[in-house]
Amino acid sequence: MEGLEGLTMASLASIIWPFCRIGGFCMNMFVFSGAAVPPVVRVWFSLMFAICILPDIPPVENPMALFSLYGALVTVKEILIGMALGYLTQFLAQVFIIAGQAVAMQTGLGFASLVDPVSGTNTPVVGQFFSVLTTLVFLAMNGHLLFFRMLEMSFSTLPIGVSFLPPDGIHDLTYFGSTMFLCGLVMAISSICTMLVVNFTLGVMTRAAPQLNIFSLGFAVTMVTGMFVLAASLNAYMNNYTHAINEVISTGCTLIGTSCEGIFD
């Protein structure tokens, strides 16, 4: 009976603890955390994924402590590791949402807004457009498979019940917000500079000819110009997307305590 009990506890620990890490990841991952994916689907997907990668997961240490205080701490630790990796993928979407909001506010297109299905808040249509575009490119380039591969690797670099996230990874994750805003503003800087020139020109025209109705004329000019600037800025979209996802992958590799070189070839 004691042997049967040990085998049962080892089997449960080898499923429950990986499921906690994978579940925390799927509940916060870009695309999968949206309202379009029901929580039940994410739970079942996490369980199936944990079963599929079970042969690649190192043996769990001290499985008999699954229902003890130590087991509770390990469970919380696994959830936090998965949530950290999931939040990291959210930064990729926020880069282009920030860029779209900056473009929308500068071009006068910020009046039109939609409800973001991910955050549940009102966002400008331009930011929503970049969000949908990023989602399609992310899935088309198998970005979700890449991050699931990173999640699988984390079980080898961060074994269950042994270690937590490395300090360097936590530091990079904490300060990645500055990189996110930097990438978003770099993508929108051309639109900001262009609209600054347009507004400066309209200001000069108003001083030269005060009889012009700057409100009716300027709004139409800035909106039409903004549409052309938005179309032109799409030419650099892939370069900005490549830079942003490389930054996310680099931070993710640091977070799980490994190197990115040659891993995702």
Question: Which pLDDT does position 263 carry in this prediction?
Answer: 47
Q: pLDDT per residue over 135-159, tens digit each?
A: 888 888 888 888 888 888 888 888 8
Percent of the chain with pLDDT over 90: 0
Contact 257, 157 (CB under 8 A): yes
> How confident is the model over 232-246, as a mean pLDDT?
81
Question: Which pLDDT does position 262 carry in this prediction?
Answer: 47
> How confident is the model over 160-176, as a mean pLDDT?
75
Spell 89-100 as b/e; 16+ CB within 10 A means b.
bbbbbbbbbbbb
Q: Give the chain's radius of gyration (CA, Å).
A: 24
Distances, alpha carbon 15 to alpha carbons 25, 50, 67, 138, in Å: 15, 7, 14, 29
What's the predicted TM-score (pTM) here?
0.77
Question: Which pLDDT does position 117 carry in this prediction?
Answer: 57
Question: Which pLDDT does position 116 carry in this prediction?
Answer: 61
